[in-house]
C-alpha cells in the first residue's frame, strides 16, 4: 500500500509540474519588468505597462550599453529578459548568450549549435532567426536546420533536442516557438522550395512529439473535423485540404508556418497564419489551394482546427498569410468582443471574432493596394469573404509568360512578418508597413527536392504617385478599419513595434534609426542611429528600478536582399533607373544590441 | 537532358584545361552567332546588343531566369545584396568554366567572419537549362550594356532554342 501511495503521489507531482509549466510563463509575462516572450504576451500585443520612459521625457533617451553578437547577418526578433538574465540570440549559426544584467551584462553562458552550413542557401532570404522562447526554467531555440533545442536557462546545458524537419528537402526554420501549457508549438519554412507547411507540438519537458497539423492534405494530416471545423461559419466538409488542388500538387503545396503565434488560454486556442501555395506560378496549381493563405485557430491540446479563414484563395502574388494575429478585447458596433486583428501581406487589415471566426472588418491599410477592390462582406453572397480580384493585376488571368505590371503591394506585402503593436490605452494598432509595388511574370518551373521552386520574375519599386519612399509607419483603428495617422519612411519599415503605457511607440528603420513617436499623434519624439539597419523588434524591461529599451541592429532579410542596391522601376524608362535610394548608401552589415535608458 | 550532358562535359573539360585568365582575352564581344545564340572567338556564350538596344533572346531569358532562381539571394539585376555577392561582377571576373563550375557544384566560404554558401544547382533543371542564359545576362549587366530593369526590346526566340529548352526540361 505504501508503494502505491508513492506512485499516486508521483503522478500528482507530475501533473502539478505540467500545470506549473504554463503558469510559470504566464506569471513571467505578467511582470512588466521582464520581456518573457518575443511577442510581449500571448496576445501578441507588444505592449508594456512601464511608464518611466514616457512621451514627456523620451527625448532625453541615451545609449546605456551595447553588445556585439559576433554575427554579421540579418538580426530579427529581440532579446528576452527573465529575472536578472537577458537571453540574446543571433542569426545562423544561432548562438544564444545569457547575460547577467545585475553584473554589467557579464556572459553567464553561451550556446553555439553545430549546424551543417548547407542549410544556409536553402534559407530563402537570409539566415534570420526570430528569437528564443522561455518557459519553466528552459530556453527554447529553434535552429535554422529545424532542430528544436531546450536549454537549461541557468546553465545553457542541453535538456533535450528534436529534429522537426529536413533541410535536404528545403525545410528550414526562421521563427521562434510558442511555449503554451505543457507544449512547445513550432512552425516550418520553405515555401519557395515546395515544402508542405505544418505546425508541430512537442512536449515541453521531454521533446516528444504530441501532434502535427499540416496546412494541406488529407483530413487526418490537417487535423480537422469536417463537421465542426468551420470556414466563415460553414463546416469545411471532408477532404477540404485536397479538393481544391489538382492531382498531387498539394504534396509540395507550401502553406508554410514561419510567422508568429498567439494564444487565448480561456478558449484553449492558438492562432497563426499559413504561407503562399507553391509555386509562385498560379497556372501550375488550379483551384483555391486550401489551406494556404489561411488564418487558423486550433485547439492547443489536440491541434484540431476550430476555424479557418482563407484570405487569398489561389494566390497569384506570393502574399503569405503568416503575419501575427493580435488579440484584443474591444467594443465593435456597440458589442464587447474578443477580437483577432491581422495585417496581411495582401494589404488588407482583418478584424475577426476570434472565438467564432466571424469576419468583422477587412480594409486596405495602405491606400496604394490595387489588386483587389475589397472583400465581399455579405454573408448571404456566394463569394462571402473573398477578395474581388482586379483583372488587370491578376497574374492568373494575364497568364503564364505575361508580365503583369503595377501591382500593389509587391510580393513582400504591405507588411511582412515585422510585428505590429497594440495599445489598450489608445486602442490603436501601430503597424510597420511596406509601400512597394511590383511587376510579376509567372512561368513554368519543375520541382526538384531541395531546390528553389519559384516560377516567377519580379521587379519591385516604390508605390507610384506617392511620397517616393518605400514604407510607412501607421496607426490603425481595427474596429473601423481606418488609418489614424501615417508616417512616411524612405525605406520599408522592417522592425517590430513596441507600444508603452508611457504614450510612446518605438520602431526601428532600415537605415538603422531607433525612433520614438507619440502614441496619439505620431509626432517624432526621439531618434538615434544605431550601427546597422534595424529589422529586429523593439523590447523593454526594468532592471534595478530603471526602465530600458533594447533593439537589435543588423541589416538583412528580404529587405537587405531586395533594397541593398536600390530599386528601379522598369516602367519609368531609362532616365529614372537608379533614381531610388539604395540601402547600401546608408548602412552595412552588423550585429549589435543597443540598450537605451534615461540619464541618471 | 542533352544540354545537361553537354554542360557536364564542359565542366569536366574545365577541370583539365585551365588556361589564360579572363582578363587576357576578349570574353565579351560576340564573334559569331548560331541559332539565335552568340559566342566569343573562344566559343564562350555571350550577349549581343544591337544599336537600337535590341538584345538577343538568351540575354532576355537570362533576365527572367535570374529573377526567378538567383535574385532571392543575390539581389535584383545581379547587383548583390546584404546576403550574397554581386553576380554581374562575378560573370566578368570569372572564367566561363569556373562560373559554370560554381553553379553546378556550389561553393562554401564558412568561417568566423563569413557564412557564405552557394548551393549546388547541378540537378536543378530550372537553373541548368538556362545556365548560359543567366551567364550572358549577368555578363551584359557587368559590362553595363544592358541597364537595370526589364529589357525593352529583344530578338524573337529561335526555333532551335525552343526545341533545346523542351528537351532539357523534358516537356
Mean pLDDT across B108-126 = 84
Which residue segments constitute the domains of chain A, with CATH numbers given? 43-597 (2.140.10.10)
Q: Do the Cβ atoms of A444 and B110 come within 8 Å?
A: no
| Closest CA of chain A from B42, distance in Å | 31
Q: How far apart are CA B4 and CA A586, in angstroms?
A: 42
Q: For B133-170, how does the pLDDT look when each residue is reduced to its tens digit (9 = 90+)? A: 999 999 999 999 998 888 889 999 999 999 998 899 87
What pLDDT is attached to residue B4?
Answer: 45
Q: How far apart are CA B163 and CA B36, in angstroms?
A: 12
Question: In chain A, what percentage of residues exceed pLDDT 70?
Answer: 94
Q: For A523-554, how does the pLDDT look when each residue is reduced to its tens digit (9 = 90+)? A: 999 999 999 999 999 999 999 999 999 999 99
ipTM for the complex shown: 0.77
Peptide bond into B2 cis (omega under 30): no
What's the mean per-residue pLDDT of chain A?
A: 93
What pLDDT is attached to residue A340?
Answer: 98
Q: For A374-384, how does the pLDDT look when each residue is reduced to its tens digit (9 = 90+)? A: 999 999 999 99
More confident residue, A436 or B115: A436
Q: For A404-435, how does the pLDDT look when each residue is reduced to its tens digit (9 = 90+)? A: 999 999 999 999 999 999 999 999 999 999 99
- Is there a catalytic annotation at residue A318? yes
Mean pLDDT across A202-207 = 97
Mean pLDDT across A464-468 = 90
Q: Extract the C-alpha cell encoding A17.
A: 509540474
- Between the CA of residue A394 and those of A279, A291, B67, B109, what are the distances in Å? 16, 20, 19, 41
Residues in chain A closer than 8 A to B84 (CB atoms): 561
Q: Say which residue the cell 506570393 belongs to.
A: A318
Q: Say which residue the cell 509549466 belongs to.
A: A21
- The residues pairing with A514 across neighbouring beta strands, listed in sequence order, are A508, A528
Q: For B45-76, how does the pLDDT look when each residue is reduced to its tens digit (9 = 90+)? A: 999 999 999 999 999 999 999 988 898 889 88
Q: Which of B82, B87, B102, B103 to mutate to test the interface with A (most CBs of A within 10 A)?
A: B82
Q: Do the Cβ atoms of A446 and B125 come within 8 Å?
A: yes
Structural element, H or E, at residue B162: helix B159-169
Whether B6 shows a pLDDT value over 70: the answer reads no
Q: What is the DSSP annotation of A105-121?
A: TEEEEEE-----GGGGG
Locate the chain B residue with the closest alpha carbon to A574. B147
Q: How far apart are CA A22 and CA A2, in angstroms?
A: 31
- The residues pairing with A404 across neighbouring beta strands, listed in sequence order, are A440
What pLDDT is attached to residue A596?
Answer: 98
The vertex-B105 CA angle with B104 and B108, nearest 5°, equals 130
Q: What is the 3-state secondary structure (H, E, C) of A297-329?
A: EEECCCCCEEEEEECCCCCCCCCCCCCCEEEEE
Beta strands in chain B (DSSP E): 32-34, 37-39, 45-46, 107-110, 115-118
For residue A59, the SS3 value is helix
Domain borders along chain B are: 2-17+51-169
Of A446, A455, A564, Cβ closest to residue B68: A455
Q: Say which residue the cell 532562381 belongs to.
A: B69
| Closest CA of chain B from A570, distance in Å | 5
- Just give the CATH number of B2-17+51-169: 1.10.760
Q: Do the Cβ atoms of B117 and A125 come within 8 Å?
A: no
- The residues pairing with A491 across neighbouring beta strands, listed in sequence order, are none
What pLDDT is attached to residue B109?
Answer: 85
Q: Do the Cβ atoms of A451 and B63 come within 8 Å?
A: no
Mean pLDDT across A202-215 = 98
Amino acid at each position: 500500500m505504501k508503494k502505491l501511495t508513492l506512485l499516486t503521489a508521483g503522478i500528482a507531482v507530475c501533473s502539478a509540474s505540467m500545470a506549473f509549466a504554463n503558469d510559470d510563463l504566464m506569471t513571467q509575462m505578467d511582470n512588466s519588468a521582464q520581456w518573457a516572450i518575443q511577442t510581449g504576451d500571448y496576445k501578441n500585443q507588444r505592449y508594456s505597462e512601464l511608464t518611466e520612459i514616457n512621451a514627456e521625457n523620451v527625448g532625453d533617451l541615451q545609449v546605456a550599453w551595447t553588445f556585439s553578437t559576433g554575427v554579421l547577418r540579418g538580426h530579427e526578433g529581440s532579446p528576452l529578459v527573465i529575472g536578472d538574465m537577458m537571453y540574446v540570440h543571433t542569426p545562423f549559426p544561432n548562438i544564444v548568450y545569457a547575460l547577467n544584467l545585475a553584473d554589467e551584462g557579464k556572459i553567464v553562458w553561451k550556446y553555439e549549435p553545430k549546424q551543417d552550413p548547407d542549410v544556409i542557401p536553402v534559407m530563402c532570404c537570409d539566415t534570420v532567426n526570430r528569437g528564443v522562447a522561455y518557459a519553466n526554467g528552459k530556453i527554447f531555440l529553434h535552429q535554422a536546420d529545424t532542430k528544436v533545442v531546450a536549454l537549461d536557462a541557468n546553465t545553457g546545458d542541453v535538456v533535450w533536442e528534436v529534429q522537426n524537419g529536413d533541410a535536404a528537402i528545403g525545410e528550414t526554420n526562421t521563427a521562434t516557438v510558442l511555449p503554451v501549457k505543457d507544449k512547445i508549438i513550432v512552425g516550418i519554412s520553405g515555401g519557395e522550395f515546395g515544402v508542405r507547411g505544418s505546425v508541430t507540438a512537442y512536449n515541453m519537458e521531454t521533446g516528444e512529439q504530441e501532434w502535427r497539423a499540416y496546412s494541406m492534405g488529407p483530413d487526418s494530416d490537417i487535423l480537422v473535423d469536417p463537421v465542426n471545423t468551420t470556414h466563415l461559419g460553414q463546416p469545411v466538409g471532408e477532404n477540404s485540404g485536397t479538393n481544391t488542388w489538382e492531382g498531387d500538387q498539394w504534396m509540395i503545396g507550401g502553406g508554410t508556418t514561419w510567422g508568429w503565434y498567439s494564444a487565448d488560454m480561456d478558449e484553449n486556442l492558438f492562432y497563426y497564419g499559413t504561407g503562399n501555395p507553391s509555386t509562385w506560378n498560379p497556372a501550375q496549381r488550379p483551384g483555391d489551394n486550401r489551406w494556404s493563405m489561411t488564418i487558423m485557430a486550433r485547439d492547443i491540446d489536440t491541434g484540431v482546427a476550430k476555424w479557418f479563414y482563407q484570405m487569398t484563395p489561389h494566390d497569384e502574388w506570393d502574399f503569405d498569410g503568416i503575419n501575427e494575429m493580435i488579440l484584443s478585447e474591444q467594443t465593435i458596433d456597440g458589442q464587447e468582443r474578443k477580437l483577432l486583428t491581422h495585417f496581411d501581406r495582401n494589404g488588407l487589415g482583418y478584424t475577426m471574432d476570434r472565438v467564432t471566426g466571424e469576419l468583422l472588418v477587412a480594409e486596405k491599410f495602405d491606400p496604394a493596394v490595387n489588386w483587389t477592390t475589397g472583400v465581399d462582406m455579405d454573408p448571404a453572397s456566394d463569394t462571402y469573404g473573398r477578395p474581388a480580384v482586379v483583372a488587370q493585376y491578376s497574374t492568373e488571368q494575364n497568364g503564364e509568360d505575361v508580365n503583369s505590371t503595377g501591382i500593389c503591394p509587391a510580393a513582400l506585402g504591405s507588411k511582412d512578418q515585422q510585428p505590429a503593436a497594440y495599445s489598450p490605452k489608445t486602442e490603436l494598432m501601430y503597424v510597420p508597413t511596406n509601400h512597394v509595388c511590383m511587376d510579376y511574370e509567372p512561368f513554368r518551373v519543375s520541382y526538384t527536392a531541395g531546390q528553389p521552386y519559384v516560377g516567377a520574375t519580379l521587379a519591385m519599386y516604390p508605390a507610384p504617385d506617392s511620397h517616393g519612399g518605400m514604407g510607412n509607419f501607421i496607426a490603425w483603428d481595427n474596429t473601423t478599419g481606418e488609418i489614424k495617422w501615417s508616417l512616411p519612411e524612405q525605406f520599408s519599415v522592417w522592425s517590430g513595434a513596441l507600444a508603452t503605457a508611457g504614450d510612446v511607440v518605438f520602431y526601428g528603420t532600415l537605415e538603422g534609426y531607433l525612433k520614438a513617436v507619440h502614441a496619439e499623434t505620431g509626432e517624432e519624439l526621439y531618434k538615434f542611429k544605431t550601427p546597422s539597419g534595424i529589422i529586429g523588434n523593439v523590447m523593454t524591461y526594468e532592471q534595478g528600478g530603471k526602465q530600458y529599451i533594447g533593439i537589435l541592429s543588423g541589416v538583412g532579410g528580404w529587405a537587405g536582399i531586395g533594397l541593398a542596391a536600390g530599386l528601379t522601376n522598369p516602367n519609368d524608362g531609362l532616365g529614372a533607373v537608379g533614381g531610388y535610394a539604395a540601402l547600401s548608401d546608408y548602412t552595412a552589415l552588423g550585429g549589435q544590441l543597443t540598450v537605451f535608458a534615461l540619464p541618471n | 537532358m542533352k544540354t545537361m550532358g553537354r554542360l557536364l562535359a564542359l565542366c569536366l573539360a574545365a577541370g583539365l584545361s585551365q588556361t589564360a585568365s579572363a582578363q587576357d582575352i576578349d570574353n565579351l564581344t560576340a564573334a559569331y552567332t548560331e541559332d539565335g545564340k552568340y559566342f566569343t572567338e573562344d566559343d564562350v556564350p555571350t550577349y549581343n546588343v544591337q544599336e537600337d538596344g535590341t538584345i538577343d533572346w538568351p540575354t532576355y531569358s537570362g533576365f527572367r531566369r535570374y529573377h526567378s532562381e538567383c535574385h532571392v539571394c543575390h539581389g535584383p539585376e545581379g547587383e548583390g545584396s546584404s546576403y550574397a555577392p554581386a553576380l554581374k561582377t562575378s560573370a566578368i571576373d570569372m572564367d566561363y568554366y569556373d562560373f559554370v563550375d560554381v553553379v553546378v557544384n556550389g561553393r562554401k566560404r564558412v568561417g568566423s567572419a563569413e557564412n557564405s554558401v552557394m548551393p549546388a544547382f547541378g540537378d536543378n533543371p530550372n537553373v541548368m537549362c538556362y545556365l548560359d542564359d543567366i551567364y550572358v545576362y549577368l555578363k551584359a549587366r557587368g559590362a553595363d550594356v544592358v541597364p537595370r530593369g526589364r529589357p525593352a526590346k529583344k530578338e524573337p526566340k529561335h526555333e532551335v532554342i525552343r526545341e533545346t529548352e523542351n528537351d532539357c526540361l523534358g516537356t
